[in-house]
Structure 1
Amino acid sequence: MSNATQLAQAVAIGVNTSNQQLHLPIELRREPTLAEYLPGPNAEAVDTIAAMAAGTGEPFLFLFGNQGTGKTHLLQAACLDAAQRGLKANFVPLGTEGLGPGILENLEHSDLVAIDDIEAISGNADWERSLLDFFNQIRAQGHRLLMAARTAPDTLSLELADLSSRLQWGPRYCLAPLNDRQCEELLIRSAEHCGMRLSPDVVRFIMNNNARDPASLVTLIARLDSFSLREQRQPTIPLVRRAMEDGTEAGG
């Protein structure tokens, strides 16, 4: 198991690299990094998140944007970056089935906590109260909190006015989608990160036949990497086509 994989598992289940007690039964599906995220129009947001992961900068930040703009990637990557620096970091996806408010217990002692899918608990009185209490606790500890949702904090359907107010205290960034040229650059960079080379024909084929949001493109590259490693050859259009078909079958 690679060091990056061990860090990913540590962050996801709520431990630091000192083998402290496990908290969260969640695993990261991959090993996202801040360097892998192509900023495009979101450079300021990425820089702010990187500073938080380093233990400096803003104490609180709220990300929002449509699905596929990379919110989850940035939250997970920030936690991994913090863990690599020896800090204690936790990633909490509220959209995960079976999570209850108790999952936040004692997490205020973490250096960085990233909470995703805030919209998933809107209207749940127990969750909203617990999230408000946690917000106050982690601020009192002087630690950092990243949050993300599909919509801006002032448009979430929250019933607790104090929570709604708290979520508007810090900077907020709406992640904008990448244009086609930036998506092509993301494809090439992600492939190179995996040790693959994409020819212009392969890039063009992907852009014409696959969803163009960053999440879909990075997922395809990860699947293509598995095919390429298994067959010990660089990606070709037939190999890309098979990776796409495999993803369609996996998605039902």
Structure 2
Amino acid sequence: MRQLNLAIDVRSDARISDFAGPGWASVIDATRQLHAGLLSRCFIHGVADTGKTHLLSAICESYLDVGRTAIQVSLIELVHAPTEVLQALESFDLVALDDLDAVVGMPHWEEAIYHLINRSEQRQLVFVARSPATHLPIGLPDLQSRLAQAASFGLPVGDNVDDRRALLFAVLKRNGWQFDPAITEHLIEHGSHRPGLMLKTLAKFKPLFQAQRRKPSLALIRQTMAMIDQDLIDQNSEA
């Protein structure tokens, strides 16, 4: 419970405006529908490193920004906790459950999530997993049915250069960073195409650029491009 309290006190560095580009249009529209009360259940899925957790943080932030309550919880972190912990979430307007895959196949957790859904007529729920609900090996048929009824949205994997470019420039604009064109083009063309990995690479730039008040030096540009190349090597070796 102490971990949950800490989680809701810390605002994340994620905003809905980060997710620009044609591939994100449907899920961003779903966020608008959540705010308008047109959706009560949403299921977001995507393979590894497609930015699922960043998106979930942004959705929760969008609720906090308008004075509503929201909480994001990773089920990986709760998998060894008693399932009664889910009852502590029922005071929030929006409950976002990340890493649903972690508890699939665990009967007590599947039943607890099913009961959470049943008790959540007055709140909205967002679920996140690597696969669509219909493809998850859920043992409880009633839970599978409930999750399959939620509006379902798959995330882009970064194959579209327009998505990568839009995501990059949206994050740069929000942070007030002015990258040299050589850096942005190198990241778009030669960095990781997965949205989540691109965001992780950008986070490493923060110490280099947040105090920058003038045009970056050639040495800084080269250092940043080398970081992009090294990140891609490291990410490929971990895959």
Superposed pair shares fold, TM > 0.5: yes
1:156 aligns with 2:140: no
- Counterpart-to-counterpart distance in 2, 1:105 and 1:97: 13
- Counterpart-to-counterpart distance in 2, 1:44 and 1:149: 17
Trace 1:1-252 onto structure 2 (pairs within 5 A).
Answer: 22=5, 30-52=12-34, 54=35, 56-96=37-77, 99-100=80-81, 101-139=83-121, 142-178=122-158, 179-230=160-211, 232-235=213-216, 236-241=220-225, 243-244=227-228
Count residues in correspondence.
230
Unaligned ranges ≥5, structure 1? 1-11, 15-21
- Counterpart-to-counterpart distance in 1, 2:153 and 2:222: 39
The Cα of 1:211 is off from its aligned counterpart by: 0.8
Taking only the aligned residue pairs, the percentage that are identical comes to 24
Contact persistence 1:13–1:27 (CA under 8 A): no
Deviates more, 1:83-92 or 1:181-190: 181-190
The Cα of 1:49 is off from its aligned counterpart by: 1.4
- Counterpart-to-counterpart distance in 1, 2:178 and 2:93: 38
Contact persistence 1:206–1:240 (CA under 8 A): no
Contact persistence 1:227–1:243 (CA under 8 A): no
- Counterpart-to-counterpart distance in 2, 1:74 and 1:25: 16
SS at structure 1 position matched to 2:71: strand
- Counterpart-to-counterpart distance in 1, 2:178 and 2:199: 14
The Cα of 1:160 is off from its aligned counterpart by: 0.8
The Cα of 1:39 is off from its aligned counterpart by: 4.1
Unaligned ranges ≥5, structure 2? none
- Counterpart-to-counterpart distance in 2, 1:250 and 1:98: 29
- Counterpart-to-counterpart distance in 2, 1:154 and 1:83: 31
Give CA deviations for 1:161-205 in whole Å, capped at 9, x if unaligned.
Answer: 111111011211112233123212322222222111223322222
The Cα of 1:250 is off from its aligned counterpart by: 9.5
The Cα of 1:32 is off from its aligned counterpart by: 0.6
Instruction: Read off the aligned partner of 2:14 and give its amino acid letter.
Output: P
Cα gap change, 1:165/1:234 in structure 2, threshold over 3 Å: closer, same or farther? farther
Instruction: Read off the aligned partner of 1:156 and give its amino acid letter.
Output: L
Give CA deviations for 1:47-79 in whole Å, capped at 9, x if unaligned.
Answer: 111331x35220111111112222222211111
Contact persistence 2:12–2:57 (CA under 8 A): no
SS at structure 2 position matched to 1:167: helix
Question: So what's the TM-score if we normalise by structure 1?
Answer: 0.79
SS at structure 1 position matched to 2:148: coil
- After TM superposition, where is structure 1 displaced by more than 6 Å over at least 4 residues in a row? 26-29, 248-252
- Relative to its length, the structure with more helix (as a share) is 2
Instruction: Read off the aligned partner of 1:173 and give its amino acid letter.
Output: F
- Counterpart-to-counterpart distance in 2, 1:118 and 1:190: 27
Deviates more, 1:172-181 or 1:80-89: 172-181
Cα gap change, 1:208/1:237 in structure 2, threshold over 3 Å: closer, same or farther? farther
SS at structure 2 position matched to 1:48: helix
Contact persistence 1:13–1:90 (CA under 8 A): no
Give CA deviations for 1:118-169 in whole Å, capped at 9, x if unaligned.
Answer: 1110111111111111111112xx2101111110101111111111111011
- Counterpart-to-counterpart distance in 1, 2:3 and 2:19: 23
The Cα of 1:102 is off from its aligned counterpart by: 2.9
